[in-house]
Homo-oligomer: A and B are copies of this chain.
Amino acid sequence: MKAAIFEEPKKLVVKEVDKPTIQKPTDAIIRIVRACVCGSDLWWYRGISKRPTGSLTGHEAIGVVEEVGSSVTHVKPGDFVIAPFTHGCGHCAACLAGFDGNCLNQEPGMNAGYQAEYLRFTGADWALVKIPGQPSDYTDEQLNDLLTLSDVMATGFHAAKSAEVKQGDTVAVIGDGAVGLCAVIGAKLLGAKRIILLSHHEDRAKLGQAFGATDIVTERGDEATKHVLDLTAGAGVDAVMECVGATSAIEQSGQIARPGAIVGRVGVPQTEPKSNQMFFKNIGLRGGIASVTTYDKDLLLDAVLKGEIHPGKVFTKRFDLDHIQDAYAAMDQRTAIKSLVIVADK
């Protein structure tokens, strides 16, 4: 089968490799239909973090189950599924508490290889999310919406959930990447009345507004902080969604939040932020890996199937698997908000 493989920073190739096989009773083999590129992959793409040469890439996909291990009963061959980047067991303390992204039983290092014709998906029984019907029953736009439920939409929603966004809240979203834009959708789903998006790119701000942002703050740094405080009569917002991960963004979150607010953070942090300034304002710092399966099953899949949300609009460029290098380059050069990768006909 064909699979995307990391060679060195800024260089991916597509090679023929062995098709994966069931190795554990909890595995499933999935024929991938659509995959995509994640902003978090840019850390290793750019050589800032390490990745082994020759490793398979990608952690977001939708596809059709081809084979399941003996203990997998919730999905069966032929089922159309979301393949989350998380692999919750559904019954450990973390999964039961709604944090399947931190499942205590997950196999380490198994969230890769989704940019390929076939994927061995570990912990398949509970983690996979069944989509009604078959890929061919959906439009391209609907498939794009469904694909976001493997990571980016759930991650944006996790920012909003972690920040405990409530009905009527005034909130801010830091970051206008695909995750930040999905956080806007997430905040709206939870009832936020006013959604301030910090965005430096006109096309992304526009999409943010289509998703529900009511105010766009285009300044950076202290000027942006001042603008958000001005918009909230100096008090700060009720909740912040931090979707960048830069230390400056995390620290800015504390500055634009009102006392008692929570910063929901999903940007993978690079260095240690200072958090004590938050203590003196009673501001919480919360977040991490999204509860993909929990959120999909609870409400996100339903919202997509009913056409209430259209997170697939974050895919502004499409590529086939053979052009995986171009898909990463488009994200790296910011010519795409998020790159869609067509692996097979639907």
Contact = CB atoms under 8 A, between A and B. Distances in A.
Contact of A288 (B102, B258, B262, B283): B283
Contact of A258 (B97, B232, B276, B285): B97
Contacts of A274: 272
Interface of A: 92-94, 97-99, 101-102, 104, 162, 232-236, 238, 258-262, 265, 268-269, 272-276, 278-289
B284 A280 contact: no
Given A102-B260, A272-B276, 7 more contacts: A93-B258, A94-B259, A94-B260, A262-B286, A265-B279, A272-B272, A284-B286
Chain B CB count within 10 A is highest, among A98, A99, A287, A288, for A288
Nearest to A93: B235
B99 A282 contact: yes
Contacts of A99: 259-260, 282
- For the complex formed by this chain, how many copies does it contain in all? 2
A232 B94 CA distance: 12
B259 A162 contact: no
B260 A97 contact: yes
Given A238-B97, A285-B286, A286-B285, A104 B259 contact: yes
A179 to B, nearest CB: 14
Contacts of A285: 275, 278, 284-286
A175 B260 CA distance: 23
Chain B CB count within 10 A is highest, among A94, A234, A284, for A284
Contacts of A94: 235, 258-260
Contacts of A276: 269, 272-273
Contacts of A272: 272, 274-276
Contacts of A235: 92-94, 104
B282 A289 contact: yes
A279 B275 contact: no
A260 B98 contact: yes
A336 B261 CA distance: 36
A276 to B, nearest CB: 5
B284 A279 contact: no
A287 B102 CA distance: 23
B284 A262 contact: yes
Contact of A282 (B262, B283, B287): B287
Nearest to A235: B93
Contacts of A97: 238, 258-261
Nearest to A277: B272
